[in-house]
Amino acid sequence: MAILVTGISELITCDPTLEGADHSEGLGLLRDAAIVVGAQYEDAPTTVHWVGPANRAPEADWAIDLGGKAVLPGFVDSHSHLVFAGDRSAEFAARMTGTPYDGGGIATTMEATRTADDSTLRTLIGARVEEMRRQGTTTVEIKSGYGLTVEDEVRALRLAGEVTEETTYLGGHVVPPEHRGDRSAYVDLVAGDMLTAAAPHAKWIDVFCEPASPHAFTGEEARHILTAGRAAGLGLRVHGNQLDHGPGVQLAVELGAASVDHCTFLSDEDLAALADGDTVATLLPGVEFSTRSPYPDGRRLIDAGVQVALATDCNPGTCYSSSMPLMMALAVREMGMTPAEAVRAATVVAATSLAREDIGVVRHGALAELAVLDAPSYLHIPYRVGVPIAHTLQV
Ligand SMILES: N=CN[C@@H](CCC(=O)O)C(=O)O
Ligand SMILES: [Zn+2]
């Protein structure tokens, strides 16, 4: 069945080939637009069949009139840690009065997550994904990393795999307390038996490469884990340069990681490496908001030619927000990015960081995963900060 959607005051396609669109800011923006979506057969994915001006729209089986709203590709949240139990709000409150973040609280969440049964975790994950969908997010990457035993990491990935195909093995999140006297044995486990068990449930491998944290991993430990992950067929992602200057960014580029995330502290050499490589820099401004830290310099990265994505990093420690619109508003207000750059970072560039071409764009053949705003223009995302104007468009 084909469905015609009209009443689109402004359609953001992120498709550079769309005729008649405004491409000046890389949005492929069409005013007074229409789209036709549908599934080829029952149970097939709903895809975009046609995109163009409303006055040239074809016939369809069914029609929806949005009455003058902006439509965008659904937001792609390419970095989250949704598989967790427990509460760390007191840690947040302490940070607001000056306690620094160092990753030590991850062990608190690890305890609570190991203790929770499958059904509890499934309910928590489902509620968080639903919260994201209500705010316009249609794809979410989910990491393990609060299990840190073979069984608990596999369980986290299995549960994440029930709600997304973008699953990431993060056994290399921190060294768990029971391995603190013996780091190298834990690194070998993460790159060995734990990886073997996790790989069938994961598309990606990630590591928290942060020598500034006593809990996270050095450049050489991260290299060992990532190299093993790549040999096991997983794509690479890296948590890098969150707390201080460190080796994470250059390691990610050198190993051809799809994304290096945080990028808060960057030297000129880090910037040059990113500009010369294909690794997306994924910025997570909710973390700086929630840890009272300096924001990454989005303007500097974009001006250097780096591909910049935005994600929530939704997790119980550094940012318990699921809101992509908030991340876009922070990028505009605090990181020197234009509203158009923020929208691209939350859609098409985030999709690139997940090696996906079927999401993050509105064009013929792409998945019909769309966001709609209770507003006439994408400019309202940062303009109406904190107001729930973004939703997933159900077609
Ligand atoms: N930095 C490492 N991991 C998460 C925080 C996890 C936690 O504190 O529970 C992050 O991306 O910020
Ligand atoms: Zn993270």
Question: Which residue CA neighbors atom 4 of ligand 1 most closely?
Answer: 318
Percent with pLDDT over 90 in the chain = 99
316 in contact with ligand 1, CB cutoff 6 A? yes
Report the pLDDT value the prediction gives residue 158, as an integer from 0 to 100: 98
Cβ partners under 8 Å of residue 268, min gap 6: none
Q: Calculate the alpha carbon distances from 353 to 274, 309, 373 in Å.
A: 13, 8, 24
Q: What pLDDT digit, counting tens, does each position of 266-325 carry? A: 999 999 999 999 999 999 999 999 999 999 999 999 999 999 999 999 999 999 999 999
- Tell whether the model's pLDDT for residue 175 goes beyond 90: yes
Ligand 1 centroid, distance to 319 Cα (angstroms): 8
Q: What is the pLDDT of residues 230-283, one digit of tens each?
A: 999 999 999 999 999 999 999 999 999 999 999 999 999 999 999 999 999 999
On whether both 34 and 150 belong to a single domain, the answer is no
Q: How far is CA 163 from the centre of its chain?
A: 15
Q: Which amino acid is at 371?
A: A
Same domain, 136 and 227: yes
Kindly state if the Cβ of 13 falls inside 6 Å of ligand 1: no
Residue nearest to atom 9 of ligand 1 (CA): 317
Assess whether the C-beta atom of 318 lies below 6 angstroms from ligand 1: yes
- Report which ligand 1 atom has the smallest distance to the Cα of 261: 11
CA 45 – CA 39 distance, rounded (Å): 6
**Coil, helix or strand at residue 240:** strand
3-state secondary structure of 51: strand
For residue 284, which of 212, 225, 350, 226 has the smallest C-alpha distance?
Answer: 350
Same domain, 349 and 296: yes
Whether residue 100 is found in the same domain as residue 235: yes
Note down the domain range covering 232. Answer: 75-353
pLDDT at residue 38, rounded to an integer: 97
Q: How confident is the model at residue 164 (pLDDT cuts 50, 70, 90)?
A: very high
Compute the mean pLDDT over every residue in the chain, rounded to the nearest whole number: 98
Residues 120 and 63 in one domain: no
pLDDT confidence bin for 49, thresholds 50/70/90: very high
Beta strand 235-240 with 308-310: parallel, antiparallel or unpaired?
Answer: unpaired
What's the confidence (pLDDT) of residue 40?
Answer: 87
User: Using a 6 Å cutoff on CB, does residue 274 contact ligand 1?
Assistant: no
Atom of ligand 1 nearest to the CA of 146: 9
Query: In this structure, are 107 and 201 located in the same domain?
Result: yes
Question: Cα 370 to chain center, whole Å?
Answer: 16
Same domain for 282 and 191: yes
- Read off the pLDDT of each residue in 376-382 and give the average, rounded to a whole number: 98
> 55: annotated binding-site residue?
no
Binding site membership of 106 for ligand 1 (Cβ less than 6 Å): yes
Q: Specify the pLDDT at position 362.
A: 98
pLDDT at 62 over 90: yes
Q: Say what the pTM is.
A: 0.98
How many angstroms does the Cα of residue 26 sit away from the middle of ligand 1?
A: 32
Q: In degrees, to the nearest 5, what angle opens at C-alpha 369 toward C-alphas 365 and 371?
A: 135
Number of domains observed in the structure of the chain: 2
Same domain? For 118 and 154 the reply is: yes
Percentage of residues in the chain having pLDDT higher than 70: 100
C-alpha 174 to ligand 1 mean position (Å): 9
Dihedrals phi, psi of 80, to nearest 5 degrees: -150, 160
Q: Ligand 1 atom 10: the closest Cα is on which residue?
A: 318
The CATH number given to whatever domain includes residue 16 is 2.30.40.10
Q: Is 69 in the same domain as 79?
A: no
CB of 208 closer than 6 angstroms to any ligand 1 atom: yes
Q: Which of these, 105, 121, 55, lies nearest to 129 by C-alpha position?
A: 121
Closest residue by CA, ligand 1 atom 8: 317
**Could you tell me if the CB of 241 is within 6 A of ligand 1?**
no
Q: Answer whether 260's CB lies under 8 Å from 271's CB.
A: no
Same domain, 150 and 63: no
CA 13 to chain centre: 19
CA of 43 relative to ligand 1 center, distance in Å? 37
Cα separations in angstroms, 22 against 19, 28, 174, 175, 212: 9, 5, 46, 50, 45
Q: Do 169 and 65 share a structural domain? A: no
CA of 241 to the centre of ligand 2 (A): 12
With cut-offs at 50, 70 and 90, classify the pLDDT of residue 388. Answer: very high
pLDDT at 157 over 90: yes
- The CATH number of residue 82's host domain is 3.20.20.140
367 beta partners: 47
Output the CA 86–ligand 2 centroid distance in Å: 17
Same domain? 308 vs 344: yes
Give me the helices (H) in the chain, please.
89-96, 106-115, 118-133, 150-161, 183-191, 193-198, 219-231, 248-254, 268-276, 285-291, 298-303, 324-334, 339-346, 348-353, 380-383
Q: For ligand 1, say whether the CB of 313 is within 6 Å of any of its atoms.
A: yes
